[in-house]
Amino acid sequence: MLDEHATLYTSIATVPLYNRAAYSFPMLELLALTRDARESCSENQECISRLSDLDDMIGRLSELSFGLARKIAENPGSVAVGDPRLEEIDAYFYSVLERVVDVRLAADAKVALVVSKSSLDGKWFTRMLLSCGVASALLLLSLIHGNGRIGAHLRRSLTRLEHQARYDALTDLPNRVLLGEHLSESLVRAAATGQNVSVLFLDLDRFKDVNDSLGHRIGDLLLQAVARRLQRLLRATDFVARYGGDEFVIVAERADAKQLTEMLDTLIHEMSEPYRIGEHELYLEASIGVSTFPQDGAQPELLTRNADAALYVAKSRGRNGYQFYEPELSRAAAEKLRLTTRLRRAAKANELYLAYQPQIDMKTGCIVGAEALLRWHDDELGEVSPAVFIPLAEETGLIQSIGTWVLRQACLQASAWVRSGLPPVRISVNVSPLQLERADLPGVVRSALDDAHWPAELLELEVTEGTLMRNAEEAQRAFRELRELGVSIAIDDFGTGYSSLSYLKRFSVDRIKIDRAFVCEIGRDKELEALSLAIIAIAETLSFDVVAEGVELDVQREFLVRHGCTVAQGFLFSPAVSPEALAQLLGKTAVASSLSVASFRGFAL
């Protein structure tokens, strides 16, 4: 069955439980309904014919169901909600149940009469059957037919419920249910006529910024305005649904390549026009992924999934554009899903770990700090680059829990070094933009410091220049609270982003780090050497400390020291190493006197 973590747990011995939006229906009850239908057939040839098909369908359903159950038993946790195999079984189960209704209607004239006189169809009876069983379904239909006042009320209620089941409550656009039905019908028509059907998966770029800055009420009004604009832009033969959140799906029938491209160009252009919401003039952009029947798939689920894969590429290429599906996108999406699944397991099983790269005073050779760097070794994938898994963690929201763990673990490790008799060093921890946007980041930091009994003066948080610009007001508030705690702030990879001096002063940072891209060119490129000199001069003018990253050669060290940058990290001194290896390095060299044990006065070590 499905638990709150949306993970399927089953075994060969259990009876699978099928779940759709409005019902839960076990296999045994389906078989009981089938038995009743079989007993009601008697000599009715039409009924017997349908019953033969039903037996074949149940056999196929059993194969699908228990085949998947065996796979899950062999590899627990391998199937989650949304898995195409589950969706296939779920859809097939519903088809079998509809066939049960067909048999029952063919076998029982009374049932057929009640259904027909209710001015409803067999699908209505199927839905009632799913919700409340045969007897209750027949009673409801009888009331609809036999009592004018009750019948009218029930009809209105059923019509309202039918609308709610198929239309989005906020925008009144069709929802996923109606989208699936419409797309299925479109594909049947297209298969018969040989025409194309294209699925356009549209996502609003940075819609979250509107919700975060102006609130969900304005965000909802904006979504309604987007829905109206989409309806205005599309042809009468096109279909648009709200897929969820800020995502919309358009089904375009009878559109050749030229018409489709013109439609996409129009959508991209028109969606970027301003929206007037109350006193606000808001600007949005859209990214669109496109898949087309028949070349990109013949099933609704596959076409939608492929359009979603193309959308992901469109967003990764700068947003505000569109991308047609290509087969390799599915492979990339599958690999991304695989990585994401293994990352979730690694985070849950504490398989992530920290390595520490020492920061060196190049004049004295003393270790004056250490940067905590997140690492992931997977039994199947080997060492996974942070450049690969950190963006995945941010995209999935895992970065919040992972980031909290990194802060706490780094402080605990630094405290453990001191308790073992080693001198204290400043610990630097990288902070994601998503962590900075959390209102409780200062609280998370305070908790990590308290748990480890680590002084705030020896904790440094590193953020990128882009993080400052992403949400400047929120960043300024968080920095102010962090600095009140005594925590210092460093700008990582300085010189690669906005490099705004006014922002540096506004955020009152303590340290800037020269990016390795500039450091590695020292001794090779005079113009890039000049950039390093400019960053050192900025730091000196604004009274910031400066640290050079990626120092690998003596010529780089000599150049930096000669021009006033005395602290660096890089392979020339040490790569990122285990806590035990850094402890050995700390035991061989004293750190600067400004970071003495006196910093721990008042802390219980």
What does DSSP assign to residue 294?
T
Residue ranges of the chain assigned to CATH 3.20.20.450:
337-595
- Backbone angles phi and psi of 433, in degrees to 5: -55, -35
Cis peptide bond N-terminal to 294, omega within 30? yes
**Which CA distances in Å does 188 have to 184, 385, 399, 544?**
6, 45, 43, 67
pLDDT at 583: 94
Count CA within 13 A, CB hemisphere, residue 391: 5
pLDDT at 464: 83
Using alpha carbons only, give the angle 51, 55, 61 rounded to the nearest 5 degrees.
135
Alpha carbon distance 467, 394 (integer Å): 13
pLDDT at 307: 92
Alpha carbon distance 115, 125 (integer Å): 7
What does DSSP assign to residue 80?
B
The region that residue 429 occupies, defined by phi over 0 for left and psi between -120 and 50 for alpha, beta otherwise, is beta
The region that residue 278 occupies, defined by phi over 0 for left and psi between -120 and 50 for alpha, beta otherwise, is left
User: Tokens in use for 7?
Assistant: 């993970």
pLDDT at 113: 44
pLDDT at 76: 63
Residue ranges of the chain assigned to CATH 3.30.70.270:
176-325
Cα of 449 vs its chain's centroid, Å = 30
* Beta carbons within 10 angstroms of residue 174's beta carbon: 21
Residue labelled with tokens 């006196």 = 598
Alpha carbon distance 549, 519 (integer Å): 7
Alpha carbon distance 293, 199 (integer Å): 8
User: Tokens in use for 559?
Assistant: 């150049």
pLDDT at 82: 55
Query: Which residues are bridge partners to 372 per DSSP?
Result: 356, 429
Contact in structure between 485 and 505 (CB atoms under 8 Å): no
| Per CATH, domain 176-325 is 3.10.450.40 | no
pLDDT at 448: 96
Mean pLDDT by 10 residues, the chain (605 residues): 28 33 46 65 65 70 69 64 64 66 56 42 46 44 46 56 79 91 91 91 87 85 95 92 93 85 92 90 91 91 90 81 83 76 88 96 94 94 91 86 95 96 95 79 94 96 79 79 93 68 73 90 84 87 90 94 95 95 85 42 39
The CATH architecture annotation of domain 337-595 reads: Alpha-Beta Barrel (3.20)
Alpha carbon distance 239, 513 (integer Å): 52
Q: Which long-range contacts (CB under 8 A, 24 or more apart) does 264-268 make?
A: 264/200, 264/288, 264/290, 264/322, 266/233, 267/200, 267/202, 267/230, 267/233, 267/322, 268/320, 268/321, 268/322
Alpha carbon distance 269, 295 (integer Å): 27
**Strand ranges (E), 414-544:** 426-430, 459-464, 488-494, 511-514
Q: Which long-range contacts (CB under 8 A, 24 or more apart) does 524-533 make?
A: 529/559, 531/495, 532/559, 532/560, 532/563, 532/565, 533/563
Count CA within 13 A, CB hemisphere, residue 192: 6
